[in-house]
Every structure is written in structure tokens, then in C-alpha cells.
């Protein structure tokens, strides 16, 4: 052994010794043991529809978009005459209260006619949907049970990149499966990998914990056994795990679930600005030298919290309540935590000087009122099939007739009994289901305008147009 070899060996030996002294084994067992009983399997059942080849329709579960999710909702195509409920999906859920409240992903339960919850001890319950929020892909369901094992809610804001986390769920029907990984990134925007599909929120916890079909709606926990996220999507071209998974942060989960339980509807707070991320090019154009990151205010909306607080076009927002807003995803994550009426501190740059202002957040209507749960019954009428002789007389081929108008949105708009709805918002109406679908799409829209523009005809032949305001 020459001198160089001796030196090299000595250095390596010292390094190994130092590593053995400093490295501490990571113990996942306590976190795993404390959480597996708090994660459930969710089986979804529905009556098969006539989707598929040769039926004149498209199978929604064949959309490549669903490859980014874990619901495993695809099923064998069956003959149209089979009308019995069949299992259409499998996912996971997290018990958040000992009296049976369970949080999961909206896409796991969407379209299900029956939900079956299987606990880790194999007890089975039917679940009731308390509320859903497609915008954040979250849903709250409940089973009638007591003394259930609860996973305590953690604070995803405290997570650090590189921190160990566990994914707990039911991939491929393998119950109580635990995988480990680290936090790869926070406030991750994944729109670039979802082929342009909107994911509602764009601020995810990215991890490399292995997740697969069936994990969706399951728990992401830290080593204390606290819930820090709900596993929601994966980056995959096959639908199976290839290295990255994404979870909704627990700060958002806590707020959304709290809103659904307390108000029956999600309360969304608005700052009231149009914005873009500050880029090097934009900073140079606007002579912004104090920062090279942040949310550039392109426009301040009227009747908004931003206008009341004195924010101006050209300001660069760098923090909300002292939490940095370097990117759109970070800004969105912060705003998702608040309700109309909440006061927040906005830190921003103007004329290359740092300033701070406190504003009271508003809703999409420009006030601080809280939103109540909306239901199609708020329209205040029933919908019936148009008699064949009426269709023939009016020379129309489709429509749905309004009946029994009482106090509600339709009466406020001037709609009377007998009115036949032909289309709503330029969408043809052929059944009550069409009306309900359009109604739900309008209600879940985050914009300020929630209006049904209705074209229709009375049995007398008079064609009429109505605008039905669905806002509070």
C-alpha cells in the first residue's frame, strides 16, 4: 500500500466513522402503526350506463386525464340491459373525527350511487355524502359509527423539502399499505403534466412515496403520524407510479372540510386582482429592482379587498400573513385558507420599497357574506316532460316544462307555469338531468357571474328569454 492509498483509506475510514456516529436510523413504525387504522377503503357503485363503442357515446373513464388519478374507476363494458349496480371505483379515505367523518377526493366518489366504506378491521358501512368541492377535488362523507381511530390534522406549512413522509392507502385493493418517501417540493403546479385539464388548485405537495391506483384520497402523514396531505394525483403515462406523486396540503383540506361541515358550502375569499408571476423580463420592463420574484398586480378589480386596501397596478405582492408568495401556486395556497371577512396582511413592493397593508377579504360578489349550500330546489319549481302533442303543436323536438312555480329563483326572474325550457347558456335541454347538470356547473364556477340564460317557449307559441341570477 503506497502513501496515497494510506491517505485515501484513512480519509474514507474517518468519513465512515463520522457517518456512523452522526447518522440516526429513521423509524417509520410508530407513524405507520398510528395511521393505518385511520385510513379506509372506499368502494363506489353505480348502475352501468350505455357508454362505450357502438353506443353513440363516449366512455368518460377512457379519458387519459384519469391516468393522473388513482381512482381506478375503469370497468369492463357490459351489455346495456344489465341495470344492477356494479362496482365502478376504488379509492381511499381518511377518518378525521371519531364519529364517522371521512375526507377523500371528489373524483373518487363522483358519480357513485352507493358508497361502501371498509375499515382496517374489515367492518363495512354505507356512507352518506356530506359535501363535495370539485375545485379542490375534495369530498366529505360520513358513516354511522363511533369511537373510530382518527388521524390528527398536521400543519403542511411546517413541512420541509427533504422531510420523510408516509403514504397510507389501498393501492390495487391491497388494504393498509404504507410507503415512504421524502417531500420533493412544495407548492407544485402540475398543470403542465395534465394535458391542459384544470385541477382546481395548483399548489401540491410533491413526494416520491410510491402511490398507485386505489391510493387516491388516502393519507400523507409525517413521522409524528399527523395528516399533512391527501394523496390526489401522480405523474404517469401509464396510470401507475413512476416516481412522483402529489398531495393536497392539509391546510387547504382543513379549511375546505371545515366549511362543508359548518356551512354546507365552501367559502372562497377573493383579494380582487388580476396578476402574473414576476419574471426577469417583466421586472426589467417595469424597472423593478427590489425583488426578482412575487405576484405582479396587473389589475385591481372594483369593489374588491385590494381596492379598499389601496393596492395598485404595478405592485408586487411578496407575502400574505408573512408567508412568501413567490409563485402563483403559493399565492393560491394562501388564499385557499381564508373566508370572506377574514383580515390578512399583504406585504408588497411599490416603487422598489417594501410596504404592508391589512385588508378584509371579500367574496366573488364584492361583499363579506358567507355562502350557503345551493340546491336545485332553490329554483322553486318542478320539471316535467313536455307532452307529445305540445311538441307537435309547437313544432319543437325537445324541451323540459316548468311546473308548480313557487317562491324561488325562477319566480323572481318572471318564469311562469307551463314555460318550456329549450336551452340554458346555449346548451340544449332534453331532461331534468340536463338542467341539474348545468345548474351544478354554474354554481361551482368561481366567477362572479352565476347566471342561467334561458331560451324557451310558452304553450301559446310565445318565445321568451330569461336571465336567472343564482347568486345570493
Which residues are marked as active site? 107, 137, 216
376: closest CA among 429, 449, 453, 437? 437
CB atoms within 10 A of CB 277: 17
323 pairs with which residues across the strands?
320
In sequence order, what E strands does 309-462 have?
316-320, 323-324, 343-350, 353-360, 382-385, 400-403, 420-424, 427-428, 451-457
271: closest CA among 292, 298, 293? 298
CA distance 61 to 66: 7
436: closest CA among 365, 381, 398, 386? 381
Counted residue by residue, the chain has a size of: 472
Is the backbone of residue 173 left (phi > 0), alpha (psi -120 to 50) or beta? Answer: left
Q: Phi and psi of 180, rounded to 5°? A: -120, 150
Q: Which three cell numbers stand for residue 378?
A: 332553490
178: closest CA among 143, 206, 218? 218
CB atoms within 10 A of CB 414: 12
Quick one: 109 exposed, middle or buried, by C-beta within 10 A (0-12, 13-18, 19+)? buried
166 pairs with which residues across the strands?
180, 221
Q: Which three cell numbers stand for residue 448?
A: 362572479
Residue 79 CB contacts under 8 Å (≥ 6 apart), including other chains: none
CA distance 294 to 324: 8
Cβ–Cβ < 8 Å for 331, 318:
no
Cβ–Cβ < 8 Å for 297, 317:
yes
CA distance 214 to 181: 18
307: closest CA among 334, 337, 272? 272
CA distance 42 to 173: 10
Amino acid at each position: 500500500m503506497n502513501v496515497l492509498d494510506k491517505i485515501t483509506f484513512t480519509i474514507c475510514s474517518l468519513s465512515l466513522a463520522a457517518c456512523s456516529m452522526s447518522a440516526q436510523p429513521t423509524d417509520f413504525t410508530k407513524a405507520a402503526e398510528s395511521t393505518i387504522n385511520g385510513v379506509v377503503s372506499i368502494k363506489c357503485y353505480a348502475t352501468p350506463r350505455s357508454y362505450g363503442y357502438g353506443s353513440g357515446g363516449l366512455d368518460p373513464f377512457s379519458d387519459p386525464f384519469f391516468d393522473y388519478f388513482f381512482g381506478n374507476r375503469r370497468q369492463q363494458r357490459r351489455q346495456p340491459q344489465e341495470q344492477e349496480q356494479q362496482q365502478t371505483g376504488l379509492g381511499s379515505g381518511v377518518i378525521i373525527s371519531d364519529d364517522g367523518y371521512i375526507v377523500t377526493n371528489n373524483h373518487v366518489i363522483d358519480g357513485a350511487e352507493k358508497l361502501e366504506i371498509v375499515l382496517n378491521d374489515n367492518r363495512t358501512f354505507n356512507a352518506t355524502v356530506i359535501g363535495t368541492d370539485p375545485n379542490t377535488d375534495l369530498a366529505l362523507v360520513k358513516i354511522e359509527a363511533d369511537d373510530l381511530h382518527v388521524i390528527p390534522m398536521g400543519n403542511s406549512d411546517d413541512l420541509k423539502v427533504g422531510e420523510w413522509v408516509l403514504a397510507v392507502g389501498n393501492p390495487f385493493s391491497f388494504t393498509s399499505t404504507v410507503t415512504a418517501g421524502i417531500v420533493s417540493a412544495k407548492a407544485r403546479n402540475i398543470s403542465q403534466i395534465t394535458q391542459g385539464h384544470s385541477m382546481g388548485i395548483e399548489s401540491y405537495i410533491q413526494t416520491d412515496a410510491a402511490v398507485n391506483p386505489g391510493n387516491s384520497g388516502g393519507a400523507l402523514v409525517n413521522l409524528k403520524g399527523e395528516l399533512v396531505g391527501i394523496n390526489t394525483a401522480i405523474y404517469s403515462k401509464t396510470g401507475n407510479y413512476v416516481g412522483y406523486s402529489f398531495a393536497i396540503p392539509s391546510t387547504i383540506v382543513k379549511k375546505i372540510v371545515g366549511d362543508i361541515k359548518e356551512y354546507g358550502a365552501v367559502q372562497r375569499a377573493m383579494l380582487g386582482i388580476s396578476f402574473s408571476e414576476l419574471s426577469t423580463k417583466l421586472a426589467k420592463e417595469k424597472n423593478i429592482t427590489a425583488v426578482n420574484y412575487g405576484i405582479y398586480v396587473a389589475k385591481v378589480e372594483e369593489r374588491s379587498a385590494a381596492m379598499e386596501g389601496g393596492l395598485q397596478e404595478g405592485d408586487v405582492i411578496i407575502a400574505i400573513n408573512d408567508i412568501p408568495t413567490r409563485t402563483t401556486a403559493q399565492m393560491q395556497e394562501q388564499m385557499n385558507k381564508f373566508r370572506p371577512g377574514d383580515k390578512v396582511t399583504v406585504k408588497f413592493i411599490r416603487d422598489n420599497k417594501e410596504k404592508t397593508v391589512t385588508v378584509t377579504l371579500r367574496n366573488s360578489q364584492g361583499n363579506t357574506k358567507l355562502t350557503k349550500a345551493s340546491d336545485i330546489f332553490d329554483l322553486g319549481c318542478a320539471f316535467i316532460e313536455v307532452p307529445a302533442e305540445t311538441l307537435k303543436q309547437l313544432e319543437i323536438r325537445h324541451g323540459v316544462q316548468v311546473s308548480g312555480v313557487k317562491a324561488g329563483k325562477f319566480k323572481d326572474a318572471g318564469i311562469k307555469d307551463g314555460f318550456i325550457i329549450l336551452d340554458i347558456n346555449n346548451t340544449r335541454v332534453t331532461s331534468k338531468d340536463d338542467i341539474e347538470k348545468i345548474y351544478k356547473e354554474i354554481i361551482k364556477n368561481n366567477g362572479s357571474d352565476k347566471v342561467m340564460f334561458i331560451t324557451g317557449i310558452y304553450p301559446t307559441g310565445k318565445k321568451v328569454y330569461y336571465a336567472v341570477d343564482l347568486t345570493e
